[in-house]
């Protein structure tokens, strides 16, 4: 989802992976300095920098969404720099393998990364199945229990020309919603997914769009991260900017900065519509206008509350984070944290984590951070991160939090870290996945509550 703002130019500790795959991605092991140093590893925070996992192959220049499946002790990262989904063993915090077959980094004419065409992008999982969105508008499906798990068992076109980005699964893993956020106008696709089946049979059910009076075509507007909320049995999708919110606002049809706020699309997968309009409380479907929030990220926390990652990258005046209840639609703002892309709720420690690449410092300048918010929606702390640090996921059995870091700009050029923070966190100049930990005696044993929200994945 990174840099896809609406106005675009957007188990066990043992290795589960065969030697053949590890050999295909292995490189000579460089000497690394000690990780977890510098501003990204403060000593006065509750959330501590534990280690850094180094990714073999190309230095990290471009990555996107990540996902954790605590039941399998695995973390997955959409690594465009190496054209695959990287797998980290969260029990040992070591690289375990890579899912292949993606287009990788696609460059613009000026040498910058074309986010709309690069892949992988969105990632999610249920049981042995991993789903990844690619830059060529295909959904790729992998079976981790297959002898050739690193090759996709299905590659399904969605009918677009740009990437399949953010996605979410129902609790049982039987329905999947994806967003083609870079299409103009954007659209979502509802699929049947594999649940706990041993054979893949993923099929598109319905292409979903939003009424053009709400998302007008021709202005690069977007659909972003969806989340599944089990109590209401609905998908909730972040919309960064919608027209006429408030009335007469600028969504790109006028000169000057964007002044329209975003919305939240509510989808009933049992009765999917081809086109959604304004919110209908009778059916609990349609687009809910948001106040002072143009969101990218979405996650479900306690009490059917959704935390939405608002960002000034969509609307410059949006400088907070929003929590909205899926049932009542009542909302409140969290001050001190903004600019988030992927956001994640960790039931193991009852905290939200935000990949806030556009967090603002006291001078109003961009200062990327990992945001930590407790389950009652109170900001606990922010921890400095390298440039472009927009992706986050947590293993709820271990209370470890995973935050990918790009390599320094001096190594990879455009898209690299310009802050110097990533090198200290990683202990190297090649980028890494930073591992943070929140030591707590109040772990809710997330394995016992799988199914209560969208991302608790059974083993």
291 prior amide bond cis, ω within 30:
no
Q: What is the pLDDT of residues 62-107, one digit of tens each?
A: 999 999 999 999 999 999 999 999 999 999 999 999 999 999 999 9
pLDDT of residue 16: 44
Q: Is residue 454 part of a domain?
A: no
User: Is the per-residue pLDDT at 15 higher than 80?
Assistant: no
pLDDT of residue 443: 54
CATH number at residue 243: 2.130.10.10
Q: What is the pLDDT of residues 269-284, one digit of tens each?
A: 999 999 999 999 999 9
Mean predicted confidence (pLDDT) in 417-446: 89
pLDDT band at 365 (very low <50, low <70, confident <90, very high): confident
Q: Is residue 241 part of a domain?
A: yes
In the chain, how many domains are there?
1
Q: Token pair for residue 428?
A: 């190297």
User: Is the per-residue pLDDT at 289 higher than 90?
Assistant: yes
What is the average pLDDT value for the chain, to the nearest integer?
91
Q: Strand 369-374 vs strand 138-143: parallel, antiparallel, or unpaired?
A: unpaired
Q: Is residue 383 part of a domain?
A: yes
Q: Strand 203-210 vs strand 275-276: parallel, antiparallel, or unpaired?
A: parallel
Give φ, ψ of 228 to 5 degrees: -100, 130
Which residues fall within 8 angstroms of residue 309, CB to CB, at 6 or more apart? 225, 238, 295, 296, 297, 298, 321, 339, 340, 341, 342, 343, 354, 355, 356
User: Is the per-residue pLDDT at 171 higher than 60?
Assistant: yes
Q: Token pair for residue 191?
A: 């699929």
Task: Characterize 98-135 residue by residue with b for buried, 16 or more Cβ atoms within 10 angstroms of its Cβ, and e for exposed.
Answer: bbbbbbbbbeeeeeebbbbbbbbbbbbbbbbbbbbbbb
| Cβ atoms of 334 and 354 closer than 8 Å | no
pLDDT of residue 260: 98
Domain range spanning residue 419? 19-24+42-447
pLDDT of residue 71: 94
Mean predicted confidence (pLDDT) in 362-382: 93
Q: Strand 234-239 vs strand 263-267: parallel, antiparallel, or unpaired?
A: antiparallel
Q: Is residue 455 part of a domain?
A: no
pLDDT of residue 445: 57
pLDDT of residue 280: 98
pLDDT band at 31 (very low <50, low <70, confident <90, very high): low
pLDDT band at 362 (very low <50, low <70, confident <90, very high): confident
Q: Is residue 192 part of a domain?
A: yes
Mean predicted confidence (pLDDT) in 433-444: 83
Q: Is residue 418 part of a domain?
A: yes
pLDDT band at 3 (very low <50, low <70, confident <90, very high): very low
pTM value is 0.92
Q: Is residue 459 part of a domain?
A: no
The 3-class SS string of the chain reads: CCCCCCCCCCCCCCCCCCHHHHHHHCCCCCCCCCCCCCCCCCCCCCCEEEEEECCCCCCCCCEEEEEEEHHHCEEEEEEHHHCEEEEEECCCCEEEEEECCCCECCECCCCCECCCCCECCCEEEECCEEEEECCCCEEEEEECCCCCCCCCCEEEECCCCCCCCCEEECCCCCEEEEEECCCCCCEEEEEECCCCCCCCCCEEEEEEEECCCCCCCCCCCCCCCEEEECCCCEEEEEECCCCCCCCCCCCCCCCCCCCCCCEEEEECCCCCCCEECECECCCCEEEEECCCCCEEEEEECHHHEEEEEECCCCCCCCCCEEEEECCCCCEEEECCCCCCCCEEEECCCCEEEEEECCCECCCCCECCEEEEEECCCCEEEEEECCCCCCCCEEECCCCEEEEEECCEHHHHCCCCECCCHHHHHHCCCCCEEEEEECCCCCCCCHHHCCCCCCCCCCC
pLDDT of residue 363: 78
pLDDT of residue 218: 97
Query: For residues 363 and 262, which has the higher predicted lDDT (pLDDT)?
Result: 262
pLDDT of residue 33: 77
Sheet of 400-405, strand order: 48-53, 432-437, 400-405, 393-395
pLDDT of residue 444: 59
Q: Is residue 201 part of a domain?
A: yes
Mean predicted confidence (pLDDT) in 244-264: 97
User: Is the per-residue pLDDT at 391 higher than 80?
Assistant: yes
| Cβ atoms of 438 and 94 closer than 8 Å | no
User: Is the per-residue pLDDT at 10 higher than 60?
Assistant: no
Q: Strand 321-325 vs strand 400-405: parallel, antiparallel, or unpaired?
A: unpaired
pLDDT band at 24 (very low <50, low <70, confident <90, very high): very low
Q: What percent of the chain has pLDDT over 90?
A: 86
């Amino acid at each position: 989802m990174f840099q896809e703002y609406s106005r675009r130019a957007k188990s066990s500790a043992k290795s589960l992976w065969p030697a053949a795959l590890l050999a295909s991605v292995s490189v000579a092991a460089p000497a690394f300095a000690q990780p977890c140093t510098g501003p990204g590893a403060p000593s006065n925070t509750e959330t501590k920098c534990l280690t850094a996992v180094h990714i073999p192959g190309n230095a990290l220049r471009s990555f996107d969404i990540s996902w954790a499946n605590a039941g399998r002790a695995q973390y997955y990262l959409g690594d465009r720099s190496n054209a695959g989904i990287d797998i980290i063993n969260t029990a040992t915090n070591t690289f375990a393998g890579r899912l292949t077959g993606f287009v990788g980094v696609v460059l613009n004419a000026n040498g910058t990364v074309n986010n709309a065409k690069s892949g992988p992008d969105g990632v999610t999982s249920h049981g042995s199945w991993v789903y990844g969105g690619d830059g060529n508008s295909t959904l790729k499906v992998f079976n981790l229990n297959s002898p050739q798990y690193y090759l996709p068992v299905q590659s399904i076109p969605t009918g677009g020309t740009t990437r399949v980005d953010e996605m979410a699964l129902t609790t049982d893993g039987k329905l999947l919603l994806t967003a083609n956020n870079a299409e103009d106008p954007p659209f979502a696709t509802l699929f049947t997914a594999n649940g706990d089946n041993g054979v893949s049979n993923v099929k598109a059910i319905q292409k979903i769009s939003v009424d053009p009076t709400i998302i007008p075509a021709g202005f690069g507007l977007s659909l972003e991260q969806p989340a599944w909320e089990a109590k209401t049995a609905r998908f909730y999708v972040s919309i960064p900017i919608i027209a006429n919110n408030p009335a007469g606002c600028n969504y790109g049809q006028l000169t000057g900065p964007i002044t329209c706020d975003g919305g939240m699309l509510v989808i009933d997968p049992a009765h999917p519509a081809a086109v959604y309009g304004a919110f209908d409380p009778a059916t609990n479907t349609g687009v809910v206008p948001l106040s002072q929030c143009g969101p990218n990220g979405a996650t479900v926390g306690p009490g059917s509350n959704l935390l939405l990652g608002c960002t000034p990258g969509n609307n410059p005046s949006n400088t907070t984070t929003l929590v909205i209840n899926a049932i009542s639609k009542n909302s409140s703002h969290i001050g001190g944290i903004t600019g988030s892309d992927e956001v994640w709720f960790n039931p193991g420690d009852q905290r939200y984590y935000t990949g806030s690449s556009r967090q603002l410092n006291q001078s109003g300048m961009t200062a990327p951070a990992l945001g930590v918010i407790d389950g009652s929606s109170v900001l606990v702390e922010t921890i400095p991160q390298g440039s472009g640090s927009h992706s986050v996921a947590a293993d709820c059995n271990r209370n470890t939090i995973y935050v990918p870091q790009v390599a320094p700009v001096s190594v990879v050029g455009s898209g690299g870290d310009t802050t110097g923070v990533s090198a200290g966190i990683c202990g190297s100049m090649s980028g890494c996945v930073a591992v943070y930990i929140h030591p707590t005696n109040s772990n809710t044993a997330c394995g016992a509550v799988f199914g209560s929200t969208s991302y608790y994945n059974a083993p």
